[in-house]
Homo-oligomer: A and B are copies of this chain.
Amino acid sequence: MLEISECDGIREIKLDRPPANALNRELIARLVEAIEGAAGAGARAVLLSGRPGMFSGGLDVPELIRLDRAEITQAWHDFYSCLKAIASSPLPVAAAITGHSAAGGAVLALFCDLRVMAEGEFRIGFNEVSVGIPMPPLIYRAASRLVGWRQAERLCVGGLLVSAAEAERISLVDELAPLDAVVARARARLEALLALPPLAMGETRKITRAEITVLFNQAEEAGEIDRVIEHWFSAETQQALNALVARLTAKRG
């Protein structure tokens, strides 16, 4: 599910769960472990990448749709923990968006320090609403940090995927690169950070990342995941998610 390698102090964590790098419970758990373990393993930075053409299609709805309330609640808590592990990592985390990046896939990238995306026909965005999931406030607010309030509203309310070119234009990603250069470019950006005086870079990073950590505290105080679960079991969301699963099954079958 994960292919982990290390080179020159940068730990690359490659999502490798064909076909779509769908985020199921096991992948999320391993991801948390890989990210939280990076510093202890001696890495100085983390690079999160995907399969060529596919960064991640988001949460594994076919698996999650079968869970009972306690299980899905746990799954969402684990997903938030994964996002928090990325956002509060003591090491800089780069997303090498090696292709399509939808919903939960785009959300992973959102919480990284920086994003390099494959140019071309690939799309990225927050299509949660399109598949029946109200966008959790935490994610909307984190998106606002990158693209401003209006663009975040447009993307989240509209459930939109946008082209790589538009993603760069609105600052949802920092840079585009040819598919086969995405990982190298993300790595180069991390190397540039690692070449800086580490205390100065790290202290400055703490200040900017603290803004994101605050969002997790707000989400916890507001009991945000309880609302997510409430909506999850609504008739509309169940119907939309089941329709999505039927489409995926038909496509693969």
Contacts and interface: CB of A to CB of B under 8 A. Distances in A.
Interface of A: 113-114, 128-135, 137, 140, 145-154, 156-159, 171, 174, 192-193, 196-201, 203-205, 207-208, 211, 231, 234, 236-237, 240
B137 A236 contact: no
A152 to B, nearest CB: 8
Given A131-B197, A140-B208, A197-B240, 6 more contacts: A129-B200, A132-B197, A132-B200, A146-B149, A146-B150, A203-B231
Contacts of A156: 204, 208
A131 B238 CA distance: 54
Instruction: Give 7 closest A-B pairs by Cβ, nearest first.
Output: A134-B203, A153-B208, A132-B197, A135-B204, A199-B236, A129-B200, A145-B149
A128 B199 CA distance: 12
Q: Which residue, A199, A203, A211, A237, has most C-beta atoms of chain B within 10 A?
A: A203
A105 to B, nearest CB: 18
Interface of chain A, main secondary structure: helix
A105 B107 CA distance: 37
Contacts of A240: 197, 200
Contacts of A199: 132, 134, 231, 234, 236-237
B236 A200 contact: yes
A117 to B, nearest CB: 14
A204 B148 contact: no
A171 B151 contact: yes
Contacts of A113: 153, 157
A157 B204 contact: yes
Contacts of A151: 171
Contacts of A150: 145-147, 171, 174
A198 B145 contact: no
Contacts of A135: 200, 203-204, 207
A191 B154 CA distance: 14
Contact of A148 (B132, B171, B234): B171
